[in-house]
Amino acid sequence: MALKKFKPMTAGTRWKIGNAYAEVTTDKPEKSLLESKKKTGGRNTQGRRSMRYIGGGHKQQYRIIDFKRNKHNVPAVVKSIEYDPNRTAFISLLNYADGEKRYIIAPQGLQVGATVVSGEAVAPEVGNALPLKNMPLGTVVHNIELQPGKGGAMARSAGTYAQLNAKEEKYAVLKMPSGELRKVLSTCMATVGTVSNSDHGLQSIGKAGANRWRGIRPRNRGVAMNPVDHPMGGGEGRSSGGHPRSRTGKYAKGLKTRKTHKSSNQLIISRKNGKKL
């Protein structure tokens, strides 16, 4: 991926570092794979605001992504690499041999014209999807299922990947993007490769208005509020606000919030800091 540094022609472009979209090959999405996307403004079905700092933004359409990769043993040709406003990664349009078209999350290095396939006994090459039990150790994967047949749920954002470290009976041991070591059923599907757009985190939007285009409204700091609105609010002059905490009073910066008796704890070998639960 290539980044583009803008010249300081305006105040908004002075610090802007954007995406050059060198990998993207078209700006016209496949119409049959689009769905309308209604904005909520952070309101629930009663019309009351349930999420703060949401509103406005550019009109978007949702791209239907194939997270399951359940069209087995049917080769598909990569027609295009496209931008998706709903996610940080790029997406690829696949044209299957039987005429069907599907979008998938684009892996890094996948080129237009390449052939990909999913199935039990396909080669572990970039873009191919197969069960973890059929992959060699050390394989880098993304779009990983947690339950067989449910569709990929882990390692889907830009530049992320997991690595297959070991196989133990019916489980595969994966090193997750966070550094966590976790067991996943070896019958779960995953796609080979790293997710595209790996430099996404190095971009700088340049101005506050770019967040408004994304539907993100200005966020008030807790220390700038009154005591009735936030635990860190109030005080004479500029007070620090005490220990950082959320609006509901939960401590930030180190407090463990994971449930101690969560069923998936038995599948986690070690957390990102190398310690067990």
Where does 179-276 show beta strands of DSSP type E? 181-185, 189-192, 268-270
At 241 the pLDDT is: 86
Domains in the chain: boundaries: 3-201, 220-277
* Closest among 34, 184, 176 to 101, alpha carbons compared: 34
DSSP-assigned beta bridge partners for residue 152: 145
Residue 254 pLDDT greater than 90, yes or no: no
Q: Are 247 and 53 in contact (CB under 8 A)?
A: no
Kindly indicate the confidence band of residue 1, based on its pLDDT and cuts at 50, 70 and 90: low
**Average model confidence (pLDDT) across the chain:** 95
Confidence (pLDDT) at 163: 98
Is residue 276 pLDDT above 80, yes or no? no
Task: Tell me the C-alpha distance between 118 and 73, whole Å.
Answer: 6
Give residue 80's pLDDT: 97
pLDDT the model gives residue 257:
85
Helix (H) / strand (E) containing 81: strand 76-82
- For residue 182, CA distances in Å to 19, 155, 188 come to 33, 13, 13
Q: Are 130 and 121 in contact (CB under 8 A)?
A: yes
pLDDT at 86: 96
pLDDT at 266: 93
Give the end-to-end CA distance of the chain in Å, rounded to a whole number. 37
Question: What's the rounded Cα separation, in Å, for the pair 130 and 107?
Answer: 15
Q: How much is the pTM?
A: 0.92
| 131-153 pLDDT, tens digit each | 999 999 999 999 999 999 999 99
**E strands present in the chain:** 3-5, 17-19, 34-36, 61-63, 76-82, 91-96, 101-105, 115-116, 129-131, 140-142, 144-145, 152-154, 162-168, 171-175, 181-185, 189-192, 268-270
Please write down the HEC assignment for all residues of 2-53: CEEECCCCCCCCCCCEEECCCCCCCCCCCHHHEEECCCCCCECCCCCECCCC
Mean pLDDT of 100-107: 98
Which of 196, 200, 166, 160 is closest to 181 using CA atoms? Answer: 166
Interval 7-62: pLDDT, tens: 999 999 999 999 999 999 999 999 999 999 999 999 999 999 999 999 999 999 99
Split at pLDDT 50, 70, 90, the class of 277 is low
Domain at 3-201: CATH architecture: Beta Barrel (2.40)
Q: What is the mean pLDDT of residues 162-182?
A: 95
At residue 35, the pLDDT reads 97
- Mean pLDDT for 174-201 is 96
The structure tokens 């070991």 sit at: 166
Cα–Cα distances in angstroms (integers) from residue 36 to residues 58, 59, 64, in the given order: 13, 10, 11
Average pLDDT, integer, range 212-240: 94
The three-state secondary structure class of 104 is strand
Fold of the 220-277 domain: Ribosomal protein L2; domain 3 (4.10.950)
pLDDT greater than 80 at residue 196: yes
3-201 shares its CATH topology with 220-277: no
What is residue 116's predicted lDDT score, i.e. its pLDDT?
97
Q: What pLDDT shows up at residue 256?
A: 86
pLDDT at position 76, please? 97
Q: Answer yes or no: is pLDDT of 274 > 90.
A: no
Mean pLDDT, to the nearest integer, of 194-198?
Answer: 96
Residue 12 to residue 31: CA distance in whole angstroms: 33
